[in-house]
Amino acid sequence: MRLLGRARTWVRRVPRARRAEEFDRAIAEFFMNIALEEAARGLGRTHPNPAVGAILVKNGRVVARGYHAEAGGPHAEVAAIEAAGPRARG
């Protein structure tokens, strides 16, 4: 119970804008980690291009994923949009 009281005190002291900023950063890092996992699927096959992963997020949900599979092939963003199909609209 004591820990909960401290947390409540911290929440009152930290400005709402800062809490929102930290929340937004955590969400962005979550989705970035998914994109990095996608990029890892293309490692070693994309030289001289970098390994890139992409995800499409709509209303907080991952709609599609894509990665740069091979040099000369479609980039991650194109692969994700193609995978999403009509879900990419809006």
Catalytic residue, chosen from 21, 22, 37, 77, is 77
CA distances for 7 relative to 15, 19, 21, 33, angstroms:
14, 13, 18, 28
- Is 22 a catalytic site residue? no
Q: Are 69 and 42 in contact (CB under 8 A)?
A: yes
Angle, alpha carbons 77-74-55 (nearest 5°): 20
Catalytic residues: 77
